[in-house]
Chain A
């Protein structure tokens, strides 16, 4: 039923990247998504490379950035004093992820690399362009309540499932990727790919390349994450959003807004941001900006409700972040 695999434990980053140069390999860290994918036949490496012991689990506070090692556990990142103090939106997104058990196992890098929860992708009984390119998309005309209203293509409408990624996009984070020829840095927004005609390609990560760290710029800003789901806990988002902003002299000096559960990638709400940048955070402005939250949305048969839900989610977050404590 499932494919056996060989196992290699990487001694260090260099060793991991060297081992991954062979075809058919997969990195293994927390394993929480990998084992589910493997049991479903969605991951079938001939050899897993265990990177779980590499020294990439540190969270380091530098002058300008907070560096979160890719192997930091979700629970450890959520409990880190600097993250709790400076980046509440990030801590909230982490604590809204999965269950306490999974948060003790799953890593930050693995969370960003997790595959979609689209039922047609996870179950093998239906056509899915992500699982079997060219086979078709069962969700477009199927049960698509959970699917994307933004960023979809005629090949794929699956949402990106990560809460963490939404918060990190709102916070302007970048990822550091290490390959055989060295390291490169990519903004998280550019890291994720739209499905277009190749939904099986989800990130710019190259074969054998290792996600080693996430970098979050440090700035005097406020942030919050709000997640709406079908049950109170341990569930993926129907709609979520993160707002990160700085109010200076009564005006919105910087603002970034991102949403989850609605896009094929963690979705930045640029029209909403543009309506807020430089403005006073009064009710008229917040209402006008929230109305733009789902700008460009193309709902499917079963998920039109997400348009209004997203607008209200963003409105509530904007009020929490921009109005409540900082403004008179």
Chain B
């Protein structure tokens, strides 16, 4: 058992880089990304798990960073939107979002892309209807859903 007061020491890996941080017990992973690591690509929309703008991959699985306490993430590996492109080259999913014009204001886009990466890793969807159901944790106030689904279909059929 490790028992601390308000400040908790955690070690975590974000986009391949290890960090040791002293964080308040009640701070979320989302706020740690923003305020401790200056990674602001992950967005804060509702801050209550409803909109999906804060989606990141935690040990390869998509989660809402606003509903994850940082203190619980000791030893975990996190992938954020900043870690998706490799050596300056966009991930096929990012390229597909651009090609398909799958965004307007862009605020939900990092979460949409991380969620779609999670979906692809789950091996999940075989139809557009299934993609829509499996992307229901991500809201887009601009209503770019049709193009988001098209972008995911494109990326799905191209090698990652």
CA distance A75 to B62 in the complex (A): 11
CA distance A15 to B2 in the complex (A): 11
Q: How far is the CB of A222 from chain B (nearest CB, A)?
A: 24
Describe A's contact surface by its main secondary structure: mixed
Select B115's contact among A5, A39, A101, beta carbons within 8 Å: A101
Which residue on B lies nearest to A106, using beta carbons?
B67
Q: Within 8 Å of chain A (Cβ to Cβ): is B104?
A: no
Which residue on A lies nearest to B114, using beta carbons?
A101
Q: Within 8 Å of chain B (Cβ to Cβ): is A305?
A: no
A5: chain B residues at CB < 8 Å are 6, 25-26
Which residue on B lies nearest to A99, using beta carbons?
B137
Q: How many residues of A contact B (CB 8 A)?
A: 33
Knowing A5-B25, A50-B72 touch, does A101 contact B4 (C-beta < 8 A)?
no
> Is B48 a contact of A39 with CB atoms below 8 Å?
yes
Q: How large is the interface on B (under 10, 10 to 19, 20 to 34, 35 or more residues)?
A: 35 or more
The interface stretch among A29-37, A148-156, A274-282, A283-291 is A29-37
Q: How far is the CB of A139 from chain B (nearest CB, A)?
A: 21
B66: chain A residues at CB < 8 Å are 35
Which residue on B lies nearest to A11, using beta carbons?
B1
B115: chain A residues at CB < 8 Å are 100-101
Q: Within 8 Å of chain B (Cβ to Cβ): is A19?
A: yes
Q: Within 8 Å of chain A (Cβ to Cβ): is B133?
A: yes
One digit per residue, 1 when the CB lies within 8 angstroms of any chain A CB and 0 when it does not, for chain B 139-155 equals 00000000000000000
Q: Within 8 Å of chain A (Cβ to Cβ): is B8?
A: yes
A104: chain B residues at CB < 8 Å are 58, 61-63, 118
> Is A101 a contact of B62 with CB atoms below 8 Å?
yes
Q: Within 8 Å of chain A (Cβ to Cβ): is B40?
A: no
CA distance A225 to B1 in the complex (A): 41
> Is A101 a contact of B137 with CB atoms below 8 Å?
yes
Which residue on A lies nearest to B4, using beta carbons?
A7
Which residue on B lies nearest to A52, using beta carbons?
B72
Select B1's contact among A10, A35, A233, beta carbons within 8 Å: A10
Knowing A35-B69, A105-B64 touch, does A100 contact B118 (C-beta < 8 A)?
yes
A39: chain B residues at CB < 8 Å are 47-48
For chain B residues 6-50, which have a beta carbon within 8 Å of chain A? 6, 8, 24-26, 28, 47-50
Q: Within 8 Å of chain B (Cβ to Cβ): is A38?
A: yes
> Is B67 a contact of A35 with CB atoms below 8 Å?
yes
Q: Within 8 Å of chain B (Cβ to Cβ): is A243?
A: no
Select A233's contact among B26, B68, B133, beta carbons within 8 Å: B133
Q: Within 8 Å of chain A (Cβ to Cβ): is B108?
A: no
CA distance A10 to B63 in the complex (A): 23
CA distance A30 to B73 in the complex (A): 11
Select B49's contact among A10, A36, A75, A233, beta carbons within 8 Å: A36
Q: Within 8 Å of chain A (Cβ to Cβ): is B92?
A: no
CA distance A31 to B132 in the complex (A): 26
Knowing A36-B49, A102-B49 touch, does A7 contact B67 (C-beta < 8 A)?
no
One digit per residue, 1 when the CB lies within 8 angstroms of any chain B CB and 0 when it does not, for chain A 67-109 equals 0000000010000000000000000000000111110110000
Q: How far is the CB of A38 from chain B (nearest CB, A)?
A: 7
Q: Within 8 Å of chain A (Cβ to Cβ): is B103?
A: no
CA distance A165 to B158 in the complex (A): 40
Which residue on B lies nearest to A8, using beta carbons?
B3
B2: chain A residues at CB < 8 Å are 8-9
B55: chain A residues at CB < 8 Å are 101
CA distance A9 to B69 in the complex (A): 13
A105: chain B residues at CB < 8 Å are 63-64, 67-68
Q: How far is the CB of A96 from chain B (nearest CB, A)?
A: 10
A233: chain B residues at CB < 8 Å are 132-133, 136
B135: chain A residues at CB < 8 Å are 100
> Is A102 a contact of B26 with CB atoms below 8 Å?
no
> Is A234 a contact of B72 with CB atoms below 8 Å?
no
> Is B64 a contact of A7 with CB atoms below 8 Å?
no
A2: chain B residues at CB < 8 Å are 26
Q: How far is the CB of B80 from chain A (nearest CB, A)?
A: 14
B-side interface residues toward A, CB under 8 Å?
A: 1-6, 8, 24-26, 28, 47-50, 52, 55, 58, 61-64, 66-69, 71-72, 74, 115, 118-119, 122, 132-137
A-side interface residues toward B, CB under 8 Å?
A: 2, 4-11, 15, 19, 28, 30-32, 35-36, 38-39, 48, 50, 52, 75, 98-102, 104-105, 232-234
